[in-house]
Each structure stands twice: as structure tokens, then as C-alpha cells.
Amino acid sequence: MLNAIIFDMDGTLADTEEIHRQAFNAAFAEFHIDCEWSPEEYKQLLSVSGGKERIRAYLLNHQLVDLPRREIIKLASTIHKRKSEIYREKLVQGHVQLRPGVAKLINAATAEGVRLGIATSSSARNVEALLTNAMGPEALELFDCIVTCEIVTDKKPSPSVYQFTLAEMGLSPSHCIAIEDTQNGNRAALGAGLKTIITTHAFTLDDDFSGAELVVDQLGEPGNPFQVIAGNARGYHYVSIDLLRDILAEEDEQEAWTGNEAMAAK
């Protein structure tokens, strides 16, 4: 039984990572930090979950400012606050759209009574800005549960954000699917007992997605099929409610088979 789909946000619902990169660089410039992250460098930096943590690690590792460690940590938080403001300004200006297949899957889930959740390392303000600008003012009401970095401070690959989301929704991981876009996100969801589908983008193509049920270049939709990078698409050409149900049904069948074998052994 498919009870819920739990989405990551950045890079999964919308291709926002390039907007984030531009916002980081704009914030660095405002604070006169001699740093401009290239797409290649930012791709590597995504191994650190959380924007504030990413800035902090970079400043400490590259010694770009002559300050004590405690002051660098405070500076990283200040830069990140401004970076988030710049990012939201870009969203309001219309620099974001949902990735292919996202709207169709959300609409299908809503129509069939499958609940929706978001488990993200981003902030509540960023979630609201993205959803309302990409989907409209009623978008937040589509999701039963939205868990952000203000609620769960442990960042992916810690499974905490998914564990908290499942607890809030009162659901077993065996009846839910997580949709992610990064190696850390995949590890977090798997650590919480969830099966995963990965939708890659330019910044995560080379990530290790071991354990994922399916890795595709996008969720796809009729007339715009996904490209399978790894895993078994089970004859489907886009991520649908039926595909998600088939993935969970296979686990149920395996559990039933294992149980029958155990009974026979007795």
C-alpha cells in the first residue's frame, strides 16, 4: 500500500541548485569575500548538506578571512542569512519552475488520496518561497507535513529528517516512497527505512546512489519520458502512482515469500 510520497525540495521539486550557487556568490561579493564558486566547485561542495554549514566549512578550510574560528562561524551565519534573502528574491522574480513530472505526480497523488510530505535541509521561508512561486499560493496546503532545518537540525545524510517526517505523519516507511536528488538525501532516506527514487541533475550526476530503486534524469510525464540511469523502471516511462505501488508491492511479495519459507522450514 502506498500511503505517502515524501519529497526532498531543492533539486528534486525544482532545479534550484544553480540559483543557490548564484546567490552564494552574490552574498560573498557583498561581504567582500574573495570567493566565487564555479559550477564544478559547487558540485563538490554539495557533499556538505546545508548552506550555512557549506559556507562555514569553506571559510575554515580555505582561510579566506583572518578571524578566530568562533568569529568565522558567526560570519558564516551572517553571510548565509543574506544569501537566503538573495535566493528568495530570485524565486520571486520567477527564476524557478517545477521539474518535469513533478506537478503531474503531485496532482495524481492528491487525486488518489496518497499523502504528501517534504523532508528538507532548507528553511521554512525557502520552502514557502519556492512552492508559492512555482505552484501558486495554495501549494503549501497540498502537503500534510513539511519538515525543515528549523525543526530537525541534523542534516542529511542523517536519517533524522525522514524519521521525524514519518513520525509526524504516523506512517511506516514500508508504505512510503522518498524522492531525492543527492547522495546524502538518498542515504538519509534509506537510513530511515524508505525506498527511494532519485531524479538527478547537473550537480548530482556523478553521485553514488547505491540502494536506490530507480535513478532517472527526471520524473518524466507522457510525451516526455525519463531516461533510466540505474535501476529497474518496470516497464514504465515516467514516475507514476502505479510505479510507486509496484515498487512497494515487490517488497510485500518478498516479505510474504520469506514468511512462507520460514513456516515451511518449521
223-250 average pLDDT score:
97
10 counts as catalytic = yes
Q: Phi and psi dihedrals of 72, rounded to 5?
A: -65, -40
Is there a contact between 38 and 202 (Cβ–Cβ < 8 Å)? no
- How confident is the model at residue 264, as a pLDDT? 47
Question: Is the predicted pLDDT of residue 256 greater than 90, yes or no?
Answer: no
pLDDT of residue 96: 83
Burial class (CB in 10 A: 0-12, 13-18, 19+), 254: exposed
Burial annotation 22-38 (CB, 10 A radius, 16+ → b, else e): bbbbbbbeeeebebebe
The mean pLDDT value of the chain amounts to: 92
Supply the pLDDT for residue 191. Answer: 98
Give the strands of the sheet with 176-180, arranged side by side: 145-147, 115-119, 4-7, 176-180, 195-199, 214-216, 228-231
As a whole number of angstroms, the distance between CA 255 and CA 109 comes to 25
Give the dihedral sign, CA 40/37/54/143: negative
Residue 255: per-residue pLDDT: 54
Backbone phi, psi, residue 209, to 5°? -110, 35
CA distance 79 to 26: 10
Question: What is the CB-side half-sphere exposure of residue 247 using CA atoms within 13 A?
Answer: 27
The arithmetic mean of pLDDT across residues 137-153, rounded, is 95
- Amino acid, res. 104: K
- The yes-or-no answer on residue 206 being catalytic is no
Parts of the chain belonging to CATH 1.10.150.240: 17-92
pTM of this prediction? 0.88
Torsion angle of the four alpha carbons 226, 231, 232, 235, in this order, in degrees rounded to the nearest 10: 10
In this model, does residue 263 exceed pLDDT 50?
no
Q: Of 10, 15, 181, 207, which one is the catalytic site residue?
A: 10
Q: Where in the chain is the domain with CATH 3.40.50.1000?
A: 4-15+97-263
CATH fold for domain 17-92:
DNA polymerase; domain 1 (1.10.150)
Q: Average the pLDDT over 162-176 and give the result.
A: 98
Whether 259 shows a pLDDT value over 60: the answer reads: no
Cβ neighbors of 251 (< 8 A, separation 6 or more) are 174, 195
Does the pLDDT at position 111 exceed 60? yes
- 181-202 per-position pLDDT tens digit: 999 999 999 999 999 999 999 9
| Predicted confidence (pLDDT) per residue in 33-89, tens digit | 999 999 999 999 998 988 999 999 999 999 888 899 999 999 999 999 999 999 999
Instruction: Out of 8, 15, 181, 207, pick the active-site residue.
Output: 8
CATH of segment(s) 4-15+97-263: 3.40.50.1000
Q: How many angstroms separate the CA atoms of 168 and 103, rounded? A: 24
Dihedral (C-alpha) 182, 187, 189, 191: value to the nearest 10 degrees? -170
pLDDT, residue 49, reads 87
